[in-house]
């Protein structure tokens, strides 16, 4: 059995308690416009650029050597069409700048554990552990189940960062080997979900309700991306806050201010960034958002 991951990030401080190793799994049932890891939305391996410098370069080696005609030059430089690319790898070999790469790798549970255990001394000294992120890690359910089970054999703290846009049985299946779930909630408005997320409205809210009833409260943190034009207005905050209160649980709630750190990644994999005209919230805007949540007795902690 092999899983497909895009990256392993060591010494992470925002993906759970202590110092953590975060594994980014490829594949996601959603298509959030603000996603900062667009390379994880695609479940398969894909071609991408490592850096922006080819956008201004004059080298045409990749264009000339692409049998699929998946690489071209436009007004901004090199552009990759992922729909045409067959991942033959010829362009990677021909690139004189070594600026093309195949994004993603297939790993066994043993190979992934070997990498994770290299950081075990840091977990022990900081109370950290391993975080499964993505994408949506639970799309690769059987692999994640086996990997989490192996993590507990080594007494590692585990976090699963999930969109909750999966079958409920997936969450329940990994629950015995998961110390903490990070569960996202973008909105509770169906039209907003369709416009900005693409899918998952009823399934996500249903799973959050079931989580509140069937999983111990200390094992869950609710996370809200805080995104201008999407869910920072008074009406949107009121709807989300009332939904959270209806769950009748006291989960910690993280507020994640929108940022544009992942914008360049879209260009590097040949995709358009659809949040071009949306700017990150100001510090004043974030504080006002927190105060509005507090008025509804939903107390948030800002995580950047």
Where are the alpha helices (H) located in 180-299, listed in sequence order? 190-192, 201-214, 234-246, 263-268, 283-295
Dist. CA 262–CA 38, nearest whole Å? 8
> Phi first, then psi: what are they for 263, rounded to 5°?
-55, -45
- Domain positions in the chain are 2-42+104-302, 46-101
In 3-state terms, what secondary structure has residue 21?
A: strand
Percent of the chain with pLDDT over 70: 98
pLDDT bucket at 57, cuts 50 / 70 / 90:
low
Residues 82, 111: Cα–Cα separation, whole Å:
28
Write the pLDDT tens digit of every residue in 42-55.
999 999 999 877 76
Tokens encoding 264: 């360049």
Q: What pLDDT does 182 receive? A: 98
Lowest mean pLDDT among 49-58, 76-85, 251-260: 49-58
- The CATH number of 46-101 is 3.30.70.20
CA distance 162 to 6: 16
Contact yes or no for 268/50 (Cβ under 8 A): yes
Burial class (CB in 10 A: 0-12, 13-18, 19+), 234: exposed
Q: How confident is the model at residue 59 (pLDDT cuts 50, 70, 90)?
A: confident
30: its two tokens: 């959603």
Distance CA 130, CA 193 (A): 30
Residue 70 — very low, low, confident or very high, per pLDDT cuts 50/70/90? very high
Domains 2-42+104-302 and 46-101 share a fold: no
Report pLDDT digits (tens) over 194-236: 999 988 899 999 999 999 999 999 999 999 999 999 999 999 9
Could you count the other beta carbons within 10 Å of the beta carbon of residue 179? Answer: 18
253-257 and 220-226 as β-strands: parallel, antiparallel, unpaired? parallel
The mean pLDDT of the chain is 94
pTM of the model: 0.95
Distances (CA, A) of 212 to 71, 238, 257: 48, 20, 24
* Beta strand pairing call for 105-108 and 129-133: unpaired
Q: Which CATH architecture has domain 2-42+104-302?
A: Alpha-Beta Barrel (3.20)
Is the bond preceding residue 90 a cis peptide, omega within 30 degrees?
A: no
Distance CA(39)–CA(258), nearest Å, equals 18
């Amino acid at each position: 059995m092999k899983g497909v991951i895009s990256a392993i990030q060591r010494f992470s401080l925002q993906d759970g308690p202590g110092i953590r190793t975060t594994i980014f799994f490829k594949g996601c049932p959603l298509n959030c416009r603000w996603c900062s890891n667009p390379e994880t939305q695609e479940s398969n391996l894909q071609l991408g650029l490592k850096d922006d410098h080819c956008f201004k370069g004059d080298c045409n080696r990749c264009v000339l050597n692409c049998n699929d005609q998946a690489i071209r030059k436009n007004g901004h430089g090199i552009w990759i069409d992922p729909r045409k690319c067959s991942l033959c790898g010829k362009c990677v070999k021909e690139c004189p700048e070594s600026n093309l790469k195949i994004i993603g790798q297939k790993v066994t549970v043993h190979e992934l554990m070997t990498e994770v255990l290299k950081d075990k001394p840091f977990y022990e000294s900081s109370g950290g552990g391993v975080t499964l992120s993505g994408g949506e890690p639970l799309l690769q359910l059987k692999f994640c189940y086996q990997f989490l089970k192996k993590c507990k054999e080594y007494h590692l703290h585990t976090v699963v960062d999930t969109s909750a846009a999966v079958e409920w049985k997936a969450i329940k299946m990994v629950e015995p080997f998961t110390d903490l779930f990070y569960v996202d909630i973008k909105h509770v408005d169906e039209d907003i979900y369709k416009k900005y997320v693409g899918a998952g409205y009823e399934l996500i809210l249903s799973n959050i309700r079931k989580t509140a009833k069937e999983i111990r409260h200390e094992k869950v943190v609710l996370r809200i991306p805080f995104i201008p034009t999407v869910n920072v207005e008074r009406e949107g905050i009121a709807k989300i806050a009332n939904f959270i209160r209806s769950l009748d649980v006291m989960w910690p709630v993280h507020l994640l201010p929108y940022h544009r750190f992942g914008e360049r990644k879209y260009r590097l994999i040949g995709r358009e960034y659809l949040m071009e005209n949306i700017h990150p919230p100001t510090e004043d805007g974030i504080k006002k958002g927190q105060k509005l949540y507090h008025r509804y007795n939903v107390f948030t902690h800002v995580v950047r």
